[in-house]
Amino acid sequence: MIEEKELGGVQLFADNNFSSQFVVDPAIQGILRFILIDPEGKIISASAPRPSGPSLIEVFKELNI
């Protein structure tokens, strides 16, 4: 699907479904969750706005990104 839809950015795969550490740590409870991660790998937001939405720009401004 990633190739078919030509999705950009970094795509992560939860190899153990909802038991994956990447899913458990930020308390992800559903699919299609947008997570904002800084260059050092720190989770900035476990429920970031949709990348195509204008509200993400506001989050960047608040974080001085």
What single-letter amino acid sits at 44? Answer: I
Please compute the mean of the pLDDT values over residues 2-12 and round it to a whole number: 74
Instruction: Note whether 22 and 15 are within 8 A (CB).
Output: no
- pTM for the structure as a whole: 0.45
Q: Which residues pair with 37 in a beta bridge?
A: 43
Q: What is the pLDDT of residues 10-57, one digit of tens each?
A: 776 667 766 777 667 766 566 667 888 887 888 888 888 888 778 888
